[in-house]
Amino acid sequence: MGALSGQVAVISGASRGIGAAIARELGAHGASVLINFANSAGPAEALAQDLRDGGGAGEVLTYQADMTDEEQARGMVEQAFAHFGQVDILINNAAITRDRTFRKLTSDDWRRVIDTNLNSVFYATHSAVPHLIEQGGGKIINISSIVALSGNIGQTNYTAAKGGLISFTKSLALELARYKILVNCVAPGFIATDMLAVVPDNIKEQITNRIPLRRFGKPEEIAKAVRFLCVDGDYITGQTISVNGGMYM
């Protein structure tokens, strides 16, 4: 029996990168997992099959929903509770970047990032909270970013959204503590995912030189922090756990 056996985790944006690593980690510890994807059906189904073949996870489902669409995001949460009868862990992970210096940033660049990285969290969480209260508790974990804490050139839209998640986490944690619902944030540093892969090599080298551990993080290292909150974080709420190789302290 894994530490999360009998529990259900819903993870947005989970077909690849950090979201997929979280699904693998929680599944490996016995959780049933709902893997959300917007467009990447192939990777999502492959991940689900890997979890099923691994034998450790409970039930594994994939669910297509554009998290920027309120009806779809809320529908995913409602369907998860209807199917499983419970959801113990909600991981708000879906995110995109549209990087440009502020003077070149378009209104569309702004809206797309805010919709995906911040508004989607409201939609999913707002739908989940009444159910979590009714069932007597649960855990909400929001995936923020190091740049929400440090700032970053060319990412005013992204930092606004990810910084908003940190403030959202603190306020919601205060409101929901009485219901035994814990709300926390994980702020990854620069992690070796598809999002980082598009960065030019010379910029990657500059970033690596600023990291005391002299390497990019792995998605699995973020997933372990999430798993800690899920398994051992019963007296932790309203916090942001930074996993960034010492780049920002």
Please, which residues have CB within 8 angstroms of residue 161's CB and are 6 or more apart in sequence? Answer: 95, 113, 114, 116, 117, 118
Look at residues 190, 105, 100, 93 and name the one whose alpha carbon lies nearest to residue 150: 190
Q: Which residue, among 114, 113, 187, has the nearest Cα to 146 in the 3D structure?
A: 187
- The position carrying tokens 């510890």 is 29
Active-site annotation holder among 63, 123, 158, 235: 158
Concerning whether 123 is annotated as a catalytic residue, the answer is no
To 5 degrees, how large is the angle CA 25–CA 142–CA 31? 30
138-143 sheet: strands from edge to edge: 60-64, 32-37, 8-11, 89-92, 138-143, 181-188, 240-243
Helix axes 70-84, 120-135, angle to 10 degrees: 30
Positive/negative CA dihedral, 66, 20, 78, 120: negative
Do residues 118 and 161 lie in contact, with contact meaning Cβ atoms separated by under 8 Å?
yes
Strands (E), 89-225: 89-92, 138-143, 181-188
The helix/strand count (H/E) of the chain reads as 10, 7
Residue at token pair 């409970």: 58
Active-site amino acid positions: 158
